[in-house]
Amino acid sequence: QDEYTILPHSFVIGIHGYVLVYSVTSLRSFQVVKTLHNKLYESRGKTRMPVVLVGNKADLSLQSREVKTDEGKKLAESWGAIFLESSAKESQVTQGIFTKIIEEIDRVDNSYGRSTGCRLM
Protein backbone atom coordinates (compact mmCIF):
# COMPACT_ATOMS: atom_id res chain seq x y z
CA GLN A 1 0.00 0.00 0.00
CA ASP A 2 1.51 3.30 -1.00
CA GLU A 3 1.96 6.00 1.60
CA TYR A 4 -0.53 8.35 -0.07
CA THR A 5 -3.45 5.93 0.23
CA ILE A 6 -3.03 5.21 3.95
CA LEU A 7 -4.45 8.59 4.95
CA PRO A 8 -7.90 9.37 3.57
CA HIS A 9 -8.67 13.10 3.36
CA SER A 10 -11.56 12.61 5.81
CA PHE A 11 -9.00 11.78 8.53
CA VAL A 12 -7.75 15.37 8.43
CA ILE A 13 -10.85 17.57 8.12
CA GLY A 14 -12.37 18.71 11.42
CA ILE A 15 -10.01 16.63 13.57
CA HIS A 16 -8.48 18.43 16.55
CA GLY A 17 -5.80 15.96 17.64
CA TYR A 18 -4.24 12.60 16.92
CA VAL A 19 -3.14 9.60 18.94
CA LEU A 20 -0.56 7.76 16.84
CA VAL A 21 0.14 4.23 18.07
CA TYR A 22 2.91 1.82 17.11
CA SER A 23 3.96 -1.54 18.49
CA VAL A 24 7.28 -1.55 20.35
CA THR A 25 7.76 -5.03 18.85
CA SER A 26 7.54 -3.75 15.25
CA LEU A 27 10.03 -1.37 13.67
CA ARG A 28 7.76 -1.31 10.60
CA SER A 29 4.84 0.08 12.63
CA PHE A 30 7.17 2.77 14.02
CA GLN A 31 8.12 3.74 10.46
CA VAL A 32 4.46 3.84 9.40
CA VAL A 33 3.68 6.21 12.29
CA LYS A 34 6.42 8.55 11.04
CA THR A 35 4.89 8.51 7.55
CA LEU A 36 1.40 9.13 8.94
CA HIS A 37 2.63 12.07 10.98
CA ASN A 38 4.34 13.59 7.94
CA LYS A 39 1.17 13.21 5.84
CA LEU A 40 -0.99 14.73 8.59
CA TYR A 41 1.43 17.63 8.97
CA GLU A 42 1.42 18.32 5.22
CA SER A 43 -2.37 17.93 4.97
CA ARG A 44 -2.95 20.42 7.79
CA GLY A 45 -0.83 23.08 6.11
CA LYS A 46 2.23 22.44 8.27
CA THR A 47 0.60 23.94 11.36
CA ARG A 48 1.17 22.72 14.91
CA MET A 49 -1.12 19.80 15.67
CA PRO A 50 -1.87 18.08 18.97
CA VAL A 51 -0.33 14.59 18.95
CA VAL A 52 0.21 11.87 21.51
CA LEU A 53 2.66 9.20 20.36
CA VAL A 54 2.06 5.83 22.01
CA GLY A 55 4.35 2.82 22.03
CA ASN A 56 2.04 -0.14 22.64
CA LYS A 57 2.84 -3.64 23.97
CA ALA A 58 5.24 -2.18 26.53
CA ASP A 59 4.52 -5.13 28.83
CA LEU A 60 6.37 -7.56 26.54
CA SER A 61 9.95 -8.65 27.20
CA LEU A 62 12.95 -6.54 26.22
CA GLN A 63 14.04 -9.30 23.83
CA SER A 64 10.90 -8.87 21.73
CA ARG A 65 11.35 -5.08 21.42
CA GLU A 66 12.35 -3.61 18.07
CA VAL A 67 11.81 0.02 19.12
CA LYS A 68 13.53 1.32 22.25
CA THR A 69 11.77 3.71 24.61
CA ASP A 70 14.37 6.40 23.87
CA GLU A 71 13.61 6.20 20.14
CA GLY A 72 9.93 6.88 20.80
CA LYS A 73 10.78 9.75 23.17
CA LYS A 74 13.14 11.34 20.63
CA LEU A 75 10.58 11.10 17.85
CA ALA A 76 7.82 12.62 19.99
CA GLU A 77 10.18 15.38 21.11
CA SER A 78 11.05 16.20 17.48
CA TRP A 79 7.32 16.61 16.78
CA GLY A 80 6.61 18.58 19.97
CA ALA A 81 4.32 15.70 20.97
CA ILE A 82 3.59 13.86 24.19
CA PHE A 83 5.07 10.36 24.47
CA LEU A 84 3.69 7.42 26.42
CA GLU A 85 4.24 3.69 26.45
CA SER A 86 1.33 1.46 27.29
CA SER A 87 -0.13 -1.98 27.14
CA ALA A 88 -3.70 -2.89 26.33
CA LYS A 89 -3.49 -4.99 29.49
CA GLU A 90 -3.01 -1.84 31.59
CA SER A 91 -6.31 0.04 31.34
CA GLN A 92 -5.13 2.87 33.59
CA VAL A 93 -2.41 3.87 31.12
CA THR A 94 -4.82 3.46 28.22
CA GLN A 95 -7.30 5.84 29.86
CA GLY A 96 -4.45 8.28 30.48
CA ILE A 97 -3.80 8.47 26.74
CA PHE A 98 -7.19 10.06 26.17
CA THR A 99 -6.63 12.52 29.02
CA LYS A 100 -3.29 13.51 27.48
CA ILE A 101 -4.71 14.14 23.99
CA ILE A 102 -7.48 16.32 25.43
CA GLU A 103 -4.91 18.29 27.43
CA GLU A 104 -2.72 18.65 24.34
CA ILE A 105 -5.62 19.83 22.15
CA ASP A 106 -6.52 22.42 24.77
CA ARG A 107 -2.89 23.55 25.14
CA VAL A 108 -2.31 23.94 21.39
CA ASP A 109 -5.63 25.69 20.80
CA ASN A 110 -4.96 28.09 23.68
CA SER A 111 -1.52 28.86 22.23
CA TYR A 112 -3.35 30.05 19.10
CA GLY A 113 -5.67 32.17 21.27
CA ARG A 114 -8.80 30.14 20.68
CA SER A 115 -10.87 28.07 23.04
CA THR A 116 -12.00 24.55 22.19
CA GLY A 117 -14.79 24.46 24.70
CA CYS A 118 -13.31 21.13 25.77
CA ARG A 119 -12.41 20.85 29.44
CA LEU A 120 -11.12 18.09 31.68
CA MET A 121 -13.04 17.38 34.84
* CA distances, 66 to each of 42, 78, 112, 120 (Å): 28, 20, 37, 35
Characterize the bridge pairing of strands 82-85 and 51-56: parallel
d(CA 91, CA 114): 32
- The predicted structure's pLDDT at residue 50: 84
pLDDT digits (tens, 9 = 90+) for 42-92: 877 766 778 889 999 888 888 899 999 999 999 999 999 989 998 877 665
Helix, strand or coil, per DSSP, at residue 93: helix
User: pLDDT band at 6, cuts 50/70/90?
Assistant: low
Among candidate residues 57, 60, 50, the one with its CA nearest the CA of residue 98: 50
pLDDT of residue 12: 58
**pLDDT on residue 31:** 95
76 versus 111: the higher-pLDDT residue is: 76
Q: Which of 83, 107, 85 is nearest to 16 (CA)?
A: 107
The set of residues, in sequence order, having a beta carbon less than 8 Å from that of 11 and lying 6+ positions away, is 40
Q: How are beta strands 18-23 and 82-85 bridged, if at all?
A: unpaired
Residue 14 gets which letter from DSSP?
A: T
pLDDT tens profile 16-54? 778 899 999 999 999 999 998 888 888 777 667 788 899
Supply the pLDDT for residue 25.
Answer: 95
- The CATH homologous superfamily for domain 9-111 is P-loop containing nucleotide triphosphate hydrolases (3.40.50.300)
Domain ranges of the chain: 9-111
DSSP β-bridge partners for residue 83: 53
What is the value of pTM for the model shown?
0.74
